[in-house]
Chains A and B, each alone.
Chain A
Amino acid sequence: MSLVVNNITKCFSDFAALNDVSFQAEPGEFLALLGPSGSGKTTLLRLLAGLDQPDTGTVEFDGADYLKLSARDRRIGMVFQSYALFRHMTVAQNIAFGLNVRPAKDRPSKAEIAATVQRLLKLIQLEDLGKRYPSQLSGGQRQRVALARALAISPRILLLDEPFGALDALVRKDLRRWLRKIHDETGVTTIFVTHDQEEALDLADRVVVLKDGKIEQIGKPLELYRHPQSAFVFEFLGTSNEVPATVTDGVASFDGFTAPAVSPKALSGAQTVRFRPFDAQLSPTGPGFEAKVLSLLPAGSSLRLELQTPDGKVFETQHAHESEASDLKLGDTVFVRPSKVYVF
């Protein structure tokens, strides 16, 4: 029951929205399509739903050619970014819609539909709001109704377009955990689109990173984080600092010190290397990159520093609250030493 996408290409006039995209979703998997806006992730989702057709490539589900099926017949639940609820229908009618429009021979009985609606209302924790209209609900509640409506048709695959995009931070975190729970309970293969790396890494079993219509990397969240395959993936997944270094055999040499270098390929010679804020050490004396403290702010469990080198470059580093970094003051001069770098 896996979804296999092969060599999908889609052009809008002369702009290639998707370029030779291939990936697989295993049964029950929770997959994230991650990328900046314009990377083609929503286009890909729409192709899967049957709302657009690719120029070339194949989409197969469980061996069946899905491109031959219309959106109607694919039985793919889609949750739109704007939720796209039917305004003139109550919450219960919205959820029942997908069952009510089935041809008479496939349609469950009225009692069965009512029972399904009740079960889904319970699942989305809106048992008492079945008679409300969408306009009487909050954004988070509408989101849940849209999800229940998509789940009502027992979809083979569930697609979510920026599911948390329009919600405020608190509701978003809550819904994220809840969505994961729903997924684990229903076991339906789920693919969601997001531009928020934190969301993708936090929620998905695997993440497909897209850039300019091409897949940059596919992998489990930890894998992506630990072994990024490209500078784009590295930079997209978190803050990155760039410095020049000489790389030989997995070791980056700087002026007076060295650091281990992680790289997808065997690279050597003069390279631009990158390091994460938390892979940096500060010391009052060299060796290291000399920099002045520009700002010093708490960032949750750690302390975030912005440091400016004499030639104007800004580093961002992170340290424990109890470390020596907390004794620094604005304008102090320190030396930054990356303890681990990435080369692409």
Chain B
Amino acid sequence: MTTDATPDAGAPPFVTEGYKPPKATHKARVLPGFRLSLGITLTYLSLIVLIPLAALLARPWEHGLDGVWQAVSDPRVVASLKLTFGTAFAAAVVNLFAGLVVAWVLTRYEFPGKSLLDALVDLPFALPTAVAGVSLCSMYAANGWIGSLFAPLGIKIAYTPLGIFVALIFVGLPFIVRSVQPVLAEFDAEVEEAAQTLGASPMQTAVRVILPSLLPALLTGFSLAFARAVGEYGSVIFIAGNMPFVSEITPLLIVIKLEEFDYAGAAAVAVAMLALSFLSLLVINGVQLLLSKRGRA
């Protein structure tokens, strides 16, 4: 038996290079309480998210599939959906760049008033959106501080889709900054120095070394800002002007339908929005998964 060439199945294999110890699974974790915490999680998510959304899904069918289709394919609804998702996307894209710069400045440099600036970033989170909407509106109206600068150029901001875009940029900014900031702060200085010793210019280091490692965080911030912008109501309705087919966002349209006691129609539009949002987030998450696979695996 002892001369048997096949090694004992129970013996640990010879450790080769590249061997990694198995990752801890939830079974291997020490602290108990999986069932209890999962129970709480499921109950909570059901009460807060799942059941209301399920109720929403159940609501629009009283006039049948036809009724739903009619409600959703109404040109006014389609126009509002295009506007809502289009401006949300555009605002998130702008914030992607602006937020990156803000996060960069706040983590990379020391200057007086830095912590004040840092606190400022969170204001769009904290302010009641209606207050933001009113103040944005007065600033960007043709006779407002900023609006009056653009008015001579023939550019109207308030009461146009451009105004919606501005409001959505306002509410979305903190998401990008706060997603990117910690990653940027944690970035290993030695990696940057390595790029430098290898002959990379500051620009090359930023674009080829730092930026790629920020991509997952940027994408997270992007999807958060986008999702928030799609659902934004308070700050938009004041500045939008709410003209049907031009500057009417879908959330407002839903409210209008509700006020007309068209509950089924409102629910139908809401379901369409839900589906589109879900699809968008799915795509973004897919890209993110692809990215993170590249980095670690």
Point out residues on A near B: beta carbons under 8 Å: 49-51, 70-78, 80-82, 84-89, 97-98, 101-102, 133, 135-138, 140-141, 149-150, 152-153, 171
Contacts and interface: CB of A to CB of B under 8 A. Distances in A.
Interface of B: 17-20, 188, 190-191, 193-201, 204, 208-209, 212-213, 215, 294-297
Contacts of A89: 212
Given A51-B196, A87-B213, A101 B204 contact: yes
A150 B296 CA distance: 22
B198 A101 contact: yes
A127 to B, nearest CB: 14
The 9 closest A-B pairs by CB, nearest first: A98-B198, A84-B194, A84-B190, A88-B212, A101-B200, A78-B197, A84-B191, A71-B196, A135-B296
11 contacts: A51-B193, A78-B193, A80-B190, A80-B193, A82-B190, A85-B191, A85-B194, A101-B195, A101-B198, A101-B199, A133-B297
Most chain B Cβ neighbours within 10 Å, of A74, A80, A153: A80
B31 to A, nearest CB: 27
Contacts, number: 91
B294 A102 contact: no
A43 to B, nearest CB: 14
Q: Tell me the dominant secondary structure on chain A's binding face.
A: loop
Contacts of B18: 136-138, 141
B195 to A, nearest CB: 7
B206 to A, nearest CB: 12
A204 B190 CA distance: 25
B17 A71 contact: no
B294 A88 contact: yes
Given A82-B188, A82-B190, A76 B197 contact: yes
Contact of B17 (A86, A101, A138): A138
A84 to B, nearest CB: 4
Given A133-B296, A135-B296, A77 B208 contact: no
Most chain A Cβ neighbours within 10 Å, of B195, B198, B204, B295: B198
Contacts of B212: 86, 88-89
B297 A71 contact: no
A97 B200 contact: yes
